[in-house]
Amino acid sequence: MSKHHVSTTINGEPVEFLCETQQTLLDALRDELQLTGSKEGCSSGDCGACSVIVDGRLVCSCLMLAVEAEGRRIETIEGLAQGERLHPVQKHFLEAAALQCGFCTPGLLVAAKALLDRNPSPTETEARYWLAGNLCRCTGYDKVIRAVMDAAAEIRGE
Amino acid sequence: MATMGTQGQFKVVGTRPVRPDGVEKVTGRAAFGADLSLPGMLVGKVKRSPHAHARIVSIDVEKARALPGVKAVVTAADFPEIASEEAFVGEGPMNFRDLSCNCMARGKVLYEGHAVAAVAATSSAIADAALDLIEVVYEPLPHVIDVEAAMAPGAPLLHDDLITQGVDPAPRTPSNVAKRVHFSLGDVEAGFRAAQVVLERRYTTKPVHQAYIEPHACVASAGADGQCQIWCSSQGQFMVRAYCAKLLGLPISSIRVTPAEIGGGFGGKTLVYLEPLALALSKQSGRPVKMVMTREEVFRATGPTSGAVVEVKIGATRNGKITGAQAVLKYQAGAFPGSPVQPGCMAAFAMYDLDNVSVTGYDVVCNRPKVAAYRAPGAPIASFAVESCLDELARTLGLDPIALREKNAAKDGTRAVYGPIWKDIGYVETLQAAKKHAHYAAPLGPNQGRGVASGFWFNIGGESTAEVHINEDGTAVVVSGNPDIGGSRASMAMMAAEVLGIPVERVRPIVGDTSSIGYSFLTGGSRVTFATGMAVVQAAQEVVGELKRRAALILDVSPEAIEWRDGAAVPSDADPGRFAPLPLAAIALKAGRTGGPISAKASINAQGAGPGFATHLCDVEVDPETGQVKILRYTAIQDVGRAIHPSYVEGQIQGGVAQGIGWALNEEYIYDANGRLENPGFLDYRVPVASDLPMIEAVMVEVPNPRHPFGVRGVGEVPIVPPMAAVANAIHAATGVRLADLPMSPPRVLAAITRATT
């Protein structure tokens, strides 16, 4: 079985990789590109640990085939910080202690960024519904939501 | 050991610094169990039983072995047959033989999902193909899923040699009841005769999974010299080492286990599933083998905690003094003995000061996955029953539910049913804080109700090792042997920084592998900040002693003339102004000339873990048309001893509450008539999501534990104990309907409302 050649953009960099037909984007990120920040929690799109942004849209990378990445623009957790400068959601997750084990954290951060990219003034309810696709079993979401609201305020310059 | 200082005297303890492993975890760099890859690594996968109960007639692996790319195939025949032997390695009861048979079925499969073979291949696709080529012939047997059916005469037997323990005389025939436990105080029948009101109720709970988001994962590598390495996500690298050594018949010294970051455990990663298989596959293939479970495998083959039936009988006087209390707890153990029924029995009435108590528990095997510890194992089930019954008692007597609990609350001097006499406990303080909290007096609207419930957990200490090393520039390294499951690196660094008198940012905490740090019991039982923290404090105190001796040499004064304050040697009060403060960095710089590196180690068996108590307030709104329950407001009040990092203590409380709410409202295992699990995924096994929950207010009451240098008591487990009853009691307050069966999902709530109104 021959592999597919895929040209795509990941975190602003042009990237090429080879993948098998059945491999998901998550498989390609983790196994072919060693971008292991995206996590596999369920492989069925229910937990959000593998969240990435594809052409501005939040998706579960376990539900997208790797070959579908051709020509797309993909953002992963590894691209969220600019060098040593953390994105406001990362900074506020740390300050608010919004992570315990940290496994769901990359997915939550990518999802939160996707929210704030389109809506820098979410209500608490909007934030809760937007993040409803990202399971966290440790925190009870309290500090996660507070961190997202704090990050939104910083992005708005408040 | 005296408790150091009081609130406000600490510089680091009680503050909220950013955790030292935080940046790695928000940038995706932290390496969890599935994130490691090694050159030449193979992919390992498990063939699992499609039957709930069957005899294995034959397993033919030859076709799988012949498939190009397949490098190893193992079955039970590749593992030593192990004699029955109690293991004291993980959390809760475990038998090495049972664990071996759970990792790889021998003779019979006992639940759907039970491992029967494993393969290692050069790719995931080849491994999958190889699994399909393994031919297993089964002779299906009748199965039994539910606890009372498993206890009934004539039930299908899982183990032909299982004789009930704890019954005198011992039964002569096997059954599915592995053990009976019993605790009593006083004369419960006399207690009921003295009562003016007696309630007798029956409650049921379903098995629920720990549902950590990270599936089990490991990499194992066995060398031709017999030296083995394992990298894995677990709650204890020493636990993994001990189990793998036993299950493979290897000396412990030949196995080195390096803990990966762990993506949640909640007790479910206190035993092994994959590691022995990966090691066996690596030995056979001579290559490293990585194994990662799918979510479906996690549900079918790991965890959960027991489902149960609990019968409670409570008698009280008109004014609310409990005169007698009795409970019978029947817990599913899954395929092998070892449900948490004993701690359930011990915890059931532990919050109350009772003269007459009787608690009996049954540990019952059935054709489900073997249960694993889950946060306060056994206690949430017992407390759902007892705290629901107490709520009904309060209503029957016309008493406020907090007042009823205050009237009967355990306090210093109370004897618990299982023996100990309480000392320095903070249960009453949580009740008082609950009563005074604004939440308790807040108005409620239509279809809304408020519930109160309390909870208890033992907390444990145990064996821990910690080392503190002073670096050349006066910074420090703290090494401990416990995986950091929720921020313990931060609390270890903070306690060391407090003792050393330096900023926490100058302490780097790491978690050592089994060959680089002394033995440490696993991360569980709410023990790490208490016990491992105690080891860190003792090692740091020894370092301070050494720093004072070195300072004395440098300053040419006697060590008694020196005190350690704010990270520097300063003149003692008896001799102020004798010399200028000599900071740690200056002492560290000269370590080579004053005796060599400055380090200390503490290897301890920490005693005196203070028990934890909590009282929760929950407001719900019940939709009378759909039966849906919305949690409107939740306040969790807990005696935390002393919070080292308050944010992570709050986080433990909030997370435990969320899990309890899931247990209360949604989570359950659903089996078909063939004993096959029908909801092995997060779509149909519904854990709480962000939109299901309100903010969860964590109120920390601090009654310091005098047996810990900073007053720490465990905080991680007790928060999951009260929620199920708190929610049930709130639903009753909102609807007038008592739900005694979990989960209180919309169809059940609607049916109960409909029954009550027609």
Question: Picking from B92-96, B376-380, B744-748, which range would have the lowest pLDDT averaged per residue?
Answer: B92-96
B89 pLDDT more than 90: no
- Residues of chain A contacting residue B25, judged by C-beta atoms under 8 Å apart: 99, 102, 105
What CA–CA distance (Å, rounded) separates B591 from B587? 6
- Residues of chain A contacting residue B647, judged by C-beta atoms under 8 Å apart: 96-97, 143
Contact B487 A145 (CB under 8 A): no
User: Given pLDDT bands bounded at 50, 70 and 90, which one contains residue A1?
Assistant: low
Which residue blocks in B412-465 are alpha helix, DSSP H?
427-436, 438-441
Query: Residues 13..72 of A with a Cβ closer than 8 Å to B: which?
Result: 20, 22, 30-31, 34-44, 46-47, 49
Active site residues of B: 717
Tokens 């560290």 found at: B588
- What pLDDT is stored for residue B376 in this prediction? 98
B2 pLDDT more than 50: no
- Is the Cβ of A140 closer than 8 Å to some Cβ of chain B? yes
What CA–CA distance (Å, rounded) separates A55 from A72? 6
B717 pLDDT more than 70: yes
What CA–CA distance (Å, rounded) separates B443 from B170? 57
What CA–CA distance (Å, rounded) separates B202 from B434? 28
User: Given pLDDT bands bounded at 50, 70 and 90, which one contains residue B495?
Assistant: very high
Please name every residue paired with B231 in a beta bridge, in sequence order, or none if there are none. Answer: B219, B258
B704 pLDDT more than 50: yes
- What pLDDT is stored for residue B5 in this prediction? 46
- Residues of chain A contacting residue B211, judged by C-beta atoms under 8 Å apart: 135, 137
Q: Apex CA A68: angle with CA A65 and CA A73, to 5°?
A: 120
- What pLDDT is stored for residue B4 in this prediction? 46
- What pLDDT is stored for residue B93 in this prediction? 77
- Residues of chain B contacting residue A131, judged by C-beta atoms under 8 Å apart: 689-691
What CA–CA distance (Å, rounded) separates B671 from B369? 12
Mean pLDDT of B308-327: 98
pLDDT digits 0-9 by tens, B528-559:
999 999 999 999 999 999 999 999 999 999 98
Contact B22 A99 (CB under 8 A): yes
pLDDT digits 0-9 by tens, B158-174:
999 999 999 999 999 99
- Burial of B6-41, coded b for 16+ CB within 10 Å and e otherwise, reads eeeebbbbbebbbbbbbbebbbbbbebbbbbeeeeb
What CA–CA distance (Å, rounded) separates B718 from B676? 32
Q: Regarding beta strands B612-622 and B448-457, do their DSSP bridges make them parallel or antiparallel, or are they unpaired?
A: antiparallel
User: Given pLDDT bands bounded at 50, 70 and 90, which one contains residue B1?
Assistant: very low
A138 pLDDT more than 70: yes
Q: Quick one: A157 exposed, middle or buried, by C-beta within 10 A (0-12, 13-18, 19+)?
A: exposed
- Is the Cβ of B655 closer than 8 Å to some Cβ of chain A? yes
- Is the Cβ of B128 closer than 8 Å to some Cβ of chain A? no
Per CATH, B22-30+461-606 and B432-452+610-757 having the same topology is answered: yes
What CA–CA distance (Å, rounded) separates B456 from B434? 16
Answer with the residue of higher pLDDT: B401 or A2: B401
Average pLDDT of every residue of chain B: 96
> What letter does residue A71 receive in the DSSP assignment?
T
Tokens of B629: 């329950």
pLDDT digits 0-9 by tens, A44-70:
999 999 999 999 999 999 999 999 999
pTM for this one?
A: 0.97
CATH of A88-155, one of 1.10.150.120, 3.20.20.70, 3.30.365.10, 3.30.70.790: 1.10.150.120
Sheet holding B322-334, edge to edge: B177-185, B357-365, B322-334, B308-316, B197-205
Residue boundaries of the structural domains of chain B: 22-30+461-606, 432-452+610-757
Mean pLDDT of B476-488: 97
Contact A101 B485 (CB under 8 A): yes
For residue A129, the chain B residue with the least C-alpha distance is: B691
- Amino acid making up residue B345: C
Mean pLDDT of B72-98: 91
Contact A134 B16 (CB under 8 A): no
- CATH architecture label of B432-452+610-757: 2-Layer Sandwich (3.30)
Question: Hey, of A138, A144, A149, which one would you mutate to test binding to chain B, going by the most B CBs within 10 A of its CB?
Answer: A138
For residue A137, the chain B residue with the least C-alpha distance is: B212
* Positions of E strands within B586-655: 599-606, 612-622, 629-639
Residues 6+ apart with CB under 8 A from A59: A51, A52, A53
User: Given pLDDT bands bounded at 50, 70 and 90, which one contains residue B573?
Assistant: confident
CB-nearest partner of A94 from B26, B652, B691: B26
- What pLDDT is stored for residue B3 in this prediction? 43
User: Given pLDDT bands bounded at 50, 70 and 90, which one contains residue B8?
Assistant: low
Going from the C-alpha of B506 to that of each of B19, B236, B497, B522, the distances in angstroms are: 12, 27, 8, 27
Q: Counting runs of H as helices and runs of E as strands, what totals does chain A give?
A: 5, 5
User: Given pLDDT bands bounded at 50, 70 and 90, which one contains residue B96?
Assistant: very high
Contact B34 A40 (CB under 8 A): yes
- What pLDDT is stored for residue B710 in this prediction? 96
- Centre a 10 Å sphere on the Cβ of residue B437 and count the other Cβ atoms it contains: 16
DSSP string, B216-240: PEEEEEE-TTS-EEEEE--S-HHHH
DSSP string, B26-75: HTT-S-BTT----TTPEEEEEEE-SSSSEEEEEEE-HHHHHSTTEEEEE-
Contact B681 A42 (CB under 8 A): yes
- What is residue B516's three-state secondary structure? coil
**Helix, strand, coil abundance in chain A, percent, nearest 5:** 40, 20, 40
Q: What are phi and psi of B63, to 5 degrees?
A: -65, -40
- Residues of chain B contacting residue A99, judged by C-beta atoms under 8 Å apart: 22, 25-26
Query: Residues 87..106 of A with a Cβ closer than 8 Å to B: which?
Result: 90, 93-97, 99-106
CATH code, residues B22-30+461-606: 3.30.365.10
Query: Residues 232..271 of B with a Cβ closer than 8 Å to A: which?
Result: 261-266
Q: What are phi and psi of A44, to 5 degrees?
A: -135, 10
- What pLDDT is stored for residue B432 in this prediction? 98
- What is residue B623's three-state secondary structure? coil
Query: Residues 202..221 of B with a Cβ closer than 8 Å to A: which?
Result: 210-215
Contact A137 B212 (CB under 8 A): yes
- What pLDDT is stored for residue B757 in this prediction? 86
- What pLDDT is stored for residue B92 in this prediction? 73
Residues 6+ apart with CB under 8 A from B576: none
Contact A145 B32 (CB under 8 A): no
Closest-CA distance of chain A to residue B20, Å: 10
Tokens of B310: 């609990």
- Is the Cβ of A149 closer than 8 Å to some Cβ of chain B? no
Contact B214 A134 (CB under 8 A): no
- What pLDDT is stored for residue B9 in this prediction? 84
Mean pLDDT of B225-246: 97
ipTM: 0.98
Contact A129 B26 (CB under 8 A): no
Query: Residues 458..517 of B with a Cβ closer than 8 Å to A: which?
Result: 485-487
- CATH architecture label of A4-79: Roll (3.10)
User: Given pLDDT bands bounded at 50, 70 and 90, which one contains residue B88?
Assistant: confident
Please name every residue paired with B325 in a beta bridge, in sequence order, or none if there are none. Answer: B314, B357
pLDDT digits 0-9 by tens, B117-147:
999 999 999 999 999 999 999 999 999 999 9
Residues counted in chain A: 158
Cβ pair B417, B350 in contact under 8 A: yes
Closest-CA distance of chain B to residue A127, Å: 8
Residue boundaries of the structural domains of chain A: 4-79, 88-155
- Residues of chain A contacting residue B31, judged by C-beta atoms under 8 Å apart: 36
Mean pLDDT of B337-343: 97
- Is the Cβ of B524 closer than 8 Å to some Cβ of chain A? no
- What pLDDT is stored for residue A87 in this prediction? 98
Mean pLDDT of B100-107: 98
Q: What percent of chain B has pLDDT over 70?
A: 99
